[in-house]
Amino acid sequence: MISEDTGTLGAGGTVGRNLLNGRLQAAAVALLAGLAMPAAAEPEAAPDYAGTTLTGDWNGARSELWQRGLALEAGLKLDSLHNRGGATDGGHTLSHLELKLRADLEKLMGWSNAVAYVNSNTDAGSGINARHTGSLMGVSNIEVPVPTTRLFHAWVQKGFLDDRFSLLVGIYPIDSEFFTMDSAATLLHPAYGPPADLALTNTPSVFNNAAFGLRAKWFSEGREVYAMAALMDGIPNDPARPKATAIRFAKGDGAFVIGEIGWMPLETGHSFEPVDPAQVRQTPGLVAHEKYGGLSKYAIGLWRYGNRVADQLDVDADNNPLQRRSQGGYLLAERTLFSLGGDAGRDVTAFGRYSFSSGDSTSIDRMWNLGLRLRGPFASRPDDSLAIGWTRSRLASKWRAAQAAAGTDTATSEDAIEISWRVAITPWLALQPDLQYIRHPGGATAARHATLAGGRVEIVF
């Protein structure tokens, strides 16, 4: 299955427009280059650009590019949320613009079962959580610490054994494939992406800060069983230049490793599905499969850092913090339970995930996610998606002890409930009202519970 990615547009108007114009010019150059290439010998059904994107099929040029091996896309997400409670009352707007280029290297160069993918993100906007809510888990999956424009994906993947085995190398975010729950992708809260106990460690390769690394993936013959592992640079990009894209192997970065094995019983025999994590428009056949097929996934994963970081509580004989490696794991499951009204494509799916970590250097050491997604909640709205989710993040005992030593009383957990309805206005425009309630944001017992109301606008160009 293919998960949605996240993205934003800069809040600085002129700068944002200049960035967008520059990328549109680059896209035009790629378009002309694609048109100059030899045509594919056997045309295949291209994505429905005319019906599913704002800018359409460019008089057939976009479909022609697809036939030649190039897919060009852009998407914009805007989150506007108002917070009441937490640190302070107030609201802000966040933005995410992403530009994508997927290249089928077999069509372009004759390199069989090979794909290249580049995805750049421009993320900006005032931080609703950083300024107001103060949640340890966050409140929006497109909020970033500082405004940035940088590469999020830049990799090449080669498949072997009829794509049952693949190797990927380059700038690669692990949250594009590991610990994913497609049925939770509707929700805005970031804890349904990377587990909070992992996200709070020493900068893992997740949105919007991806590292250079290597990923290997294997499927069984029927595609229902898979195993994958990744070896990544322990610190993505350059912390001294948080707005830049950099491949930098500095002393002390160490490495990060993660592995996952899973079972997807409903995927048996679906060998036509892409095995790479590029997120672009789908062909009509795959759209039909995604729409009318249910979800089933059961997975377990483990991760570990090679470098050591300071323990937040324990010290040595000289009163210096002990140095420890962060490590953890997760279990997840999602399953379509039943259809709604007997209509294909309208169904109810349940999801759940439990994650754990050592908790030596982070504020959270355990997390639970539970929820439901309804596709087509009403017969008159078959393309809408309604989701409700509950998350509990247990506060690490060492963090609580450190807070107590500093004079702050803490709760045992930070909890969040969210309900979100993605309303498909057109195939390329969606409006998504969202409501969240967070208990003990920031972990302090004195902190006011927070309520957030607002929503998301999503446009596909």
Q: What domains lie within the chain, and their CATH numbers?
A: 13-452 (2.40.160.180)
Residue 61 has pLDDT above 50, yes or no: yes
Residue found under tokens 């280059």: 33
Angle in degrees, 0-180, between the axes of helices 61-68 and 13-35, rounded to the nearest 10: 60
Task: Tell me how far apart the alpha carbons of residues 370 and 388 are, in angstroms, rounded to a whole number.
Answer: 9
**pLDDT tens track for 138-171:** 999 999 989 999 999 999 999 999 999 999 999 9
Is the model's pLDDT at 28 over the cut of 80? Answer: no
- 205, 336 contact by CB (below 8 A): no
pLDDT score at 43: 63
Under 8 Å CB-to-CB from 183, ≥6 apart: which residues?
Answer: 295, 334, 349, 350, 351, 371, 373, 387
pLDDT > 50? residue 11? no
In tens, the pLDDT along 99-137 reads: 999 999 999 999 999 999 999 999 998 789 999 999 999
For residues 316 and 302, the answer to whether their CB atoms sit within 8 Å is: no
Q: Distance between CA 64 and CA 40 in Å, rounded?
A: 9
Tokens 């479909």 correspond to: 63
* Residue 9 pLDDT: 35
Asked whether the predicted pLDDT for residue 328 surpasses 70, the reply is: yes
Instruction: State both tokens at 150.
Output: 């940088």
* DSSP 3-state of 288: helix
What pLDDT does residue 321 have? Answer: 94
16 has pLDDT over 50: no
- pLDDT (average), residues 16-28: 41
Determine contact, residues 73/100, Cβ cutoff 8 Å.
yes
If pLDDT is split at 50, 70 and 90, which confidence band does 42 have?
A: low
Q: Average pLDDT for residues 231-244, to the nearest whole number?
A: 89
Among 291, 280, 157, CA closest to 228: 157
Instruction: Give me the mean pLDDT over the 3-20 stretch.
Output: 38
Output the furthest CA–CA distance in the chain (Å, rounded). 72
Closest CA to 224 of 263, 186, 198: 263
Instruction: Give one DSSP letter per residue of 75-134, joined into a string.
Output: EEEEEEEEEEEES--EEEEEEEEEEEEEEEHHHHH--TTEEEEEEEEEEEE--HIIIII-
Q: What is the average pLDDT across 380-398? A: 97
pLDDT at 19 over 60: no
The per-residue pLDDT for range 283-308, each reduced to its tens digit, is 888 888 888 888 999 999 999 999 99
Q: What is the mean pLDDT of residues 216-229?
A: 96
The answer to whether 377 and 340 have CB atoms below 8 angstroms apart is yes
pLDDT exceeds 70 at position 352: yes
pLDDT tops 80 at residue 20: no
Measured between alpha carbons, how far is 11 from 32 in angstroms, rounded to an integer? Answer: 31
pTM, to two decimals: 0.87
Which carries the bigger pLDDT value, residue 337 or residue 37? 337
Quote the CA–CA distance of 44 and 353 in Å, as a whole number. 38
Helices (H) and strands (E) in the chain, counts: 8, 18
- Rounded to whole angstroms, the Cα distance separating 250 from 441 reads 35
Q: Is 311 helix (H, G, I), strand (E, B) or coil?
A: strand
Residue 6 has pLDDT above 50, yes or no: no
Q: How would residue 267 be classed by pLDDT, with cut points 50, 70 and 90?
A: confident
Omega of the bond leading into 208 within 30 degrees of 0 (cis): yes
